[in-house]
Protein backbone atom coordinates (compact mmCIF):
# COMPACT_ATOMS: atom_id res chain seq x y z
CA UNK A 1 0.00 0.00 0.00
CA UNK A 2 1.35 3.44 -0.89
CA UNK A 3 2.00 6.12 1.72
CA UNK A 4 -0.64 8.24 0.02
CA UNK A 5 -3.19 5.44 0.49
CA UNK A 6 -2.16 4.99 4.12
CA UNK A 7 -2.58 8.71 4.86
CA UNK A 8 -5.98 8.73 3.16
CA UNK A 9 -7.08 5.69 5.18
CA UNK A 10 -5.77 7.26 8.40
CA UNK A 11 -7.82 10.43 7.90
CA UNK A 12 -10.87 8.42 6.82
CA UNK A 13 -10.69 6.58 10.15
CA UNK A 14 -10.39 9.90 12.01
CA UNK A 15 -13.40 11.31 10.13
CA UNK A 16 -15.36 8.19 11.12
CA UNK A 17 -14.63 8.73 14.82
CA UNK A 18 -11.92 6.06 15.07
CA UNK A 19 -9.03 8.25 16.22
CA UNK A 20 -7.71 5.86 18.86
CA UNK A 21 -7.92 2.88 16.49
CA UNK A 22 -6.07 4.93 13.86
CA UNK A 23 -3.40 5.80 16.42
CA UNK A 24 -2.82 2.11 17.15
CA UNK A 25 -2.82 1.13 13.48
CA UNK A 26 -0.73 3.88 11.90
CA UNK A 27 1.56 5.35 14.56
CA UNK A 28 4.98 4.08 15.66
CA UNK A 29 5.59 3.23 19.36
CA UNK A 30 8.39 5.85 19.38
CA UNK A 31 6.17 8.52 17.83
CA UNK A 32 7.43 12.12 18.06
CA UNK A 33 4.74 14.79 17.56
CA UNK A 34 5.62 18.46 17.05
CA UNK A 35 2.65 20.78 17.50
CA UNK A 36 2.28 24.00 15.54
CA UNK A 37 3.38 25.96 18.63
CA UNK A 38 6.61 23.93 18.80
CA UNK A 39 5.66 21.85 21.85
CA UNK A 40 6.32 18.13 21.54
CA UNK A 41 4.87 14.83 22.70
CA UNK A 42 7.03 11.70 22.63
CA UNK A 43 5.91 8.09 22.59
CA UNK A 44 2.66 6.41 21.65
CA UNK A 45 1.45 6.23 25.26
CA UNK A 46 1.70 9.98 25.87
CA UNK A 47 0.05 10.69 22.53
CA UNK A 48 -2.78 8.22 23.25
CA UNK A 49 -3.34 9.92 26.62
CA UNK A 50 -3.46 13.33 24.90
CA UNK A 51 -5.96 12.11 22.28
CA UNK A 52 -8.20 10.46 24.89
CA UNK A 53 -8.30 13.69 26.90
CA UNK A 54 -8.95 15.76 23.77
CA UNK A 55 -11.79 13.47 22.68
CA UNK A 56 -13.33 13.43 26.17
CA UNK A 57 -13.56 17.24 26.07
CA UNK A 58 -15.39 17.38 22.72
CA UNK A 59 -19.07 18.22 22.72
CA UNK A 60 -19.83 18.63 19.03
CA UNK A 61 -18.15 18.65 15.63
CA UNK A 62 -19.69 21.22 13.29
CA UNK A 63 -17.78 20.18 10.21
CA UNK A 64 -14.44 19.33 8.75
CA UNK A 65 -12.73 18.38 5.54
CA UNK A 66 -9.52 16.97 4.20
CA UNK A 67 -8.64 19.55 1.57
CA UNK A 68 -5.51 17.93 0.12
CA UNK A 69 -3.25 14.93 0.56
CA UNK A 70 0.10 14.43 -1.13
CA UNK A 71 3.08 12.16 -0.71
CA UNK A 72 6.75 11.71 -1.47
CA UNK A 73 6.70 7.94 -1.86
CA UNK A 74 10.45 7.68 -2.25
CA UNK A 75 11.17 9.42 1.08
CA UNK A 76 8.13 8.11 3.00
CA UNK A 77 6.53 11.48 3.68
CA UNK A 78 2.86 12.45 3.51
CA UNK A 79 1.20 15.84 3.95
CA UNK A 80 -2.46 16.41 4.74
CA UNK A 81 -4.24 19.77 4.74
CA UNK A 82 -7.49 19.77 6.69
CA UNK A 83 -9.87 21.79 8.82
CA UNK A 84 -12.30 20.92 11.59
CA UNK A 85 -14.70 23.14 13.53
CA UNK A 86 -15.49 21.87 17.03
CA UNK A 87 -17.19 22.83 20.27
CA UNK A 88 -15.76 21.77 23.61
CA UNK A 89 -17.78 20.81 26.68
CA UNK A 90 -16.79 24.12 28.32
CA UNK A 91 -18.67 25.93 25.53
CA UNK A 92 -15.69 27.23 23.57
CA UNK A 93 -15.55 26.72 19.82
CA UNK A 94 -12.41 26.37 17.76
CA UNK A 95 -11.70 25.96 14.09
CA UNK A 96 -8.46 24.13 13.41
CA UNK A 97 -6.91 24.71 9.98
CA UNK A 98 -3.70 22.72 9.76
CA UNK A 99 -1.24 20.84 7.64
CA UNK A 100 0.11 17.61 9.13
CA UNK A 101 3.44 16.38 7.75
CA UNK A 102 4.03 12.71 8.49
CA UNK A 103 7.37 10.91 8.26
CA UNK A 104 6.82 7.17 7.93
CA UNK A 105 9.04 4.32 9.01
CA UNK A 106 7.68 1.25 7.27
CA UNK A 107 3.94 1.12 7.93
CA UNK A 108 3.98 3.54 10.88
CA UNK A 109 4.27 7.29 11.31
CA UNK A 110 7.42 7.99 13.33
CA UNK A 111 7.29 11.80 13.27
CA UNK A 112 4.27 14.05 12.77
CA UNK A 113 4.57 17.82 12.59
CA UNK A 114 1.70 20.29 12.46
CA UNK A 115 1.62 23.73 10.85
CA UNK A 116 -1.28 26.13 11.30
CA UNK A 117 -0.14 29.48 9.88
CA UNK A 118 -0.60 31.17 13.27
CA UNK A 119 2.47 30.06 15.19
Residue 29: Cβ-neighbour burial (10 angstroms; 0-12, 13-18, 19+): exposed
User: What is the Cα–Cα distance from 119 to 92, expressed in whole angstroms?
Assistant: 20
The per-residue pLDDT for range 15-45, each reduced to its tens digit, is 999 999 999 999 999 999 999 999 999 999 9
Q: Vertex 76, ends 95 and 55: CA angle to 5°? A: 30
Task: Locate the domains of the chain by residue range.
Answer: 3-115
Positive or negative torsion for Cα 81, 5, 21, 60: positive
| Predicted model pTM | 0.92
Tell me the pairing of strands 27-34 and 108-115.
parallel
pLDDT at 119: 55
* Mean pLDDT for the stretch of residues 37-61: 96
Class of CATH domain 3-115 = alpha beta
Amino acid sequence: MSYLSKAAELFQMIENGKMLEALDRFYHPDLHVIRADGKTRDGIDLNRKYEKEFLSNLQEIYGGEVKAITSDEKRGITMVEYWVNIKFKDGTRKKYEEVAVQYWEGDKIKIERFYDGKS
